[in-house]
Structure formats: C-alpha cells, structure tokens
Amino acid sequence: MKIYRSALLRFADDGQAVYDSDALLAVAADASGRQRVVAAGSWQALADQYIQREGVEVIHLPGKLLAPGFVDMHIHYPQTDVIGAPAPGLLPWLENYTFPHESRFHDREYADGVAEFFMDELLRNGVTTALAFATSHPASVDAIMTAAQKRSMRMIAGKVLQDRNSPDGVRDDTEQGLIDTEILINRWHGVDRLGYAITPRFAPTSTEAQLRGAGELAAKYSDVWIQSHVAENLDEIAWVKELFPAARSYLAVYDDFGLMRERAVYAHSIWLDETDRQLMQSTRSAAAVSPTSNLFLSSGYFDYLKADVSNMLYGLASDVGGGMSFSPFRTMQAAYVVGREGHAKQGQSLSPQNLWWQHTAGAARALGLGGVIGNLQPGCEADFVVINPACTPLLERKTAQARNLDELLFAMIILGDDRLIEQTIVSQAK
C-alpha cells in the first residue's frame, strides 16, 4: 500500500469539490491487481488507521496538491501535428489541412510514432483518459491502443467511418469500414483498460448505409462507445440539411440511425435547439465541450445555461488539433471565458470548482465511467496528478495569497498550463 500525504482535491457525488489541505490518500491493488484508492480524507482522521500497517510506504509531498487525472472527452490523436493550422472555418480546415494529414496514417510505423508522442503529451499535461478519434485506417487504431496499453492507460478510441465526401486516402468503403470496426471492437474493447468507440466522423461524410450499419453495431455492442461531431459550424449545418432533408435537425440524423444512447458523445453541440437538448438528455448522450477549438475555428459558443436547464450530460474536451492545447488548464480557461457569454448576461459565471469537475469527475460521468475514473474517492482507479501550485513565480505568488479553495483553483485555471503538472500517476495492473 502507498500512502500519499499532501493537499487533496476530490469530488462528492453531487459535483461539489472536497478539499483537504493536509490529506491522506491510500492506494493499493485490488483482488485483480488493479491499483485503486482505498482511503481519502484528512490526515488527522485517517493516519492512525493506515500508517501503522505492514508494508506501507509513506510519500510526503509538502506544498503539492493531489487531484484526479484529467479526462479529455474528445481529441484527435492524428491531429497532434495539425494544431495551429489557420483556416476561415471548419470545412476548409478539414479539406486543406486535416484530411491530407490524416491520409498518412495508413502507415503503421508513422501512426506508431505519433501515437507514442501523443500519449506522452497527454500524460505530461495530466490527462489520464481520453476519448479519441483515430483515422479511417485500422492501423491507426492498433497504434493508439498499443501505445495506451504500454502505459496502462484507460483510453477509448475508434476507427473513423467516412465513406463519402472525403478525398482519396481517407475515404473508406461502406462495407469494409463496418467490417473493420467490428474486427477492432473484438480486438480491443475491454482489453486491459482499453475501450472502443464506433466513430462516424460526422453526418456529411457517411452515407445512410454506413450510418445504419454503425447504428446496428452500436445496438449489438451496447457497452461500446459512440463518438461523432454535431452542430459545430453553420456551413456544416447547412450542408447536413441538404444531405438529409427529411431529418428534423442535424442531431436527429444520428438518432434516426440508432446512434444516440448512453456512451454516445457528440463533440461541440453548439447549435442545438431545445428539442435537440431534450433528445440529448432523454438518450443520456453527452456533449464534449471544446472551447479552444470553437474559438480557434470561430465555430460559436456552447450554451451552458441552456444545457443545464435541459439537464443534458456534458464535459470538457481539447479537440486537438482544432483545439489549441493539450492542457486541461487552457481548456478550462477558455470554458470560463465562453461561459461568461451566457452566464455574464445573467450576472453569473462558471465556478472554478465546476470547471475542474467538468474535466474530471463530470467528464467521467458523461462517459459512463463515474466512480471509476476522474475522482479520488475510495474504489476509484488510482489515476491522479501531483500539482505544483508554485511552478512559476506568478503562480507561486498568487496561490500563496488564495484565501479559499475557489481562489486557489481559479489562480491555476487562469494562469496555469503543463508546468503545473509535476507528475502523472496511472493505475498499474499487477
């Protein structure tokens, strides 16, 4: 058993932050060998019970903060090298930068190289789980799964389905794409900590036959994830209207093909109407809110107020390479600013505790992994970060002046980046 002594941040079931400035976090292997949190709470209350036990190693980290590993609900690993590609909007960005770049991932060796870098970059930024797009090439999935497995990470990924309106090099074949998806589900889903996500890129690049097949697989493999994009950009929405004239809305296209259910995650979800939000809520589908991407591509603002009224699930995501950074701190910063767009008009804003929750326990809940990752309550898998709140002169100065938890978290959200993450610890199996 390992006992950590440090400040500790975790979350109650209702999303409230729980903070102990001098805490004990006990981590030990369960019967299957997986490392989990055994105890978490104030040092004073728990130390007597735990530090006397045999074989206990105590790790004292004065001045540091332990917090749950971050969960990135939407990211494209093949777009690691696409970050910062300027374009007037989503569709030219895809055509001119993203599709040509993704065509390189048919080459397993190339994909392995990017996947290795990507995984290290996630960990360097404190991200321990991501729901990731690969490309349309099955080899690209083998590459990311292999890289995640090597690091014992809980990673969810899938082969992109895109059988139309896509150039040579990334376009797949309707039937073959579905056959490959099923092969990859059987190869990777549930292996160690890996999960598979059925991944139609977005409605405009899949035929009805491919979407129907994806929906059939989603019904057959009910604990597999589904990921796609929806209602990101106004030109994209107009295109969907042309391609699916009978659908009630863009989101309804996915519903029509059986692609909305628990564990379905729709990136962006900016331009939804009330009926769409109800559909998200009633199907327990979740939105992946990607504020740095939405700002970079000038897509629009996620409406937090309306999302909360509808009680739909959502959480934060980087959306690299539309997104501007791997760092959850940069994503939370942008979410705060974007949240002001709606809330400020009502004299409110997103709280730092809520922003942090959206990128940890809230994101885990939205992925159907509440109580498993994204938190440090007893029973959770032991994925966590060691944060150094004094990692820069300004952060040292600012966090030392924090009078309460909100001020401490806010200082890190507004001023922070990868430098805050001193160490990322991933739950190992025996």
42 beta partners? 23
Nearest distance in Å: CB 349, ligand GUN: 25
User: Which residue among 10, 229, 277, 330 contacts ligand GUN (CB under 6 A)?
Assistant: 229
Instruction: Give the one residue of 72, 303, 319, 417 binding Zn ion; rule: CB under 5 A.
Output: 319
Q: Does 94 bind ligand GUN (CB under 6 A)?
A: yes
| Contact mark string toward ligand GUN, 312..351, x via CB under 6 A | -------x--x-----------------------------
Q: Which residue is nearest to ligand GUN (CB)?
A: 322
Neighbours of 347 (CB within 10 A): 6
Q: Report if residue 267 touches Zn ion, rule: CB under 5 A.
A: yes
| Between 9 and 272, CB nearer to ligand GUN | 272
- Choose among 59, 51, 44, 47: nearest CA to 382: 59
Question: 159 or 201, CB closer to ligand GUN?
Answer: 201
Name the residue nearer to ligand GUN (CB basis): 276 or 319.
319
CA distance 272 to 342: 15
Per-residue burial over 65-84, b if 16 or more Cβ lie within 10 Å, else e, is bbbbbbbbbbbbbbbbebbe
- Return the HEC string of 130-186: EEEECCCCHHHHHHHHHHHHHCCCEEEEECEECCCCCCCCCCCCHHHHHHHHHHHHH
Sequence letter at residue 195: G
Helices (H) and strands (E) in the chain — how many of each? 17, 15
Interstrand relation of 421-425 and 70-76 (parallel, antiparallel or unpaired): unpaired
Cβ of residue 232: shortest distance to ligand GUN, in angstroms?
A: 5
Identify the helix (H) or strand (E) that includes residue 272.
none
Q: CA separation (Å) from 161 to 127, 166, 196?
A: 26, 10, 13
Q: Helix, strand, coil shares of the chain as percentages rounded to 5? A: 45, 25, 35
**Residue 98 binds ligand GUN (CB under 6 A):** yes
What is 354-377 written as a DSSP string? HHHHHTTHHHHHHTT-TTTSS--S
Q: State the binding partner of 232 from ligand GUN, Zn ion, none, CB within 5 to 8 A by kind.
A: ligand GUN
How far is residue 275's CA from residue 278's CA, in Å, rounded to a whole number? Answer: 5
The residue within the footprint of ligand GUN, chosen from 5, 10, 64, 76 (CB under 6 A), is 76
- Give the nearest distance from C-beta 222 to Zn ion in angstroms: 24
Q: Quick one: 256 or 319, whose CB is closer to ligand GUN?
A: 319
Residue 226 identity (one-letter amino acid): I
90 counts as binding ligand GUN under rule CB under 6 A: yes
Nearer to ligand GUN, 163 or 319 (CB): 319
For ligand GUN, the closer of residues 3 and 286 by Cβ is: 286
Q: If we measure between CA atoms, which residue out of 297, 324, 320 comes closest to residue 92?
A: 297
Site stretch for ligand GUN (CB under 6 A), options 18-26, 90-98, 276-284, 403-411: 90-98
Considering the complex, state which of residue 163 and residue 383 has its C-beta at the smaller distance from ligand GUN.
163
User: Considering only residues 201, 330, 359, 398, which one is a binding residue for ligand GUN as defined by CB under 6 A?
Assistant: 201
CB of 418 to ligand GUN, least distance (A): 22
Q: Among 173-181, 251-259, 312-320, 338-346, which window interacts with Zn ion (CB under 5 A)?
A: 312-320
**Binding-site member from 142, 232, 381, 417 for ligand GUN (CB under 6 A):** 232
Which of 241, 243, 296, 300 minimizes the C-alpha distance to 268? 300
Tokens of 352: 């730092």
Q: Is 293 in the site for ligand GUN (CB under 6 A)?
A: yes
Q: Which is nearer to ligand GUN, 98 or 360 (CB)?
A: 98
User: Rule CB under 6 A: which residues touch ligand GUN?
Assistant: 76, 90, 94, 98, 201-202, 229, 232, 293, 319, 322
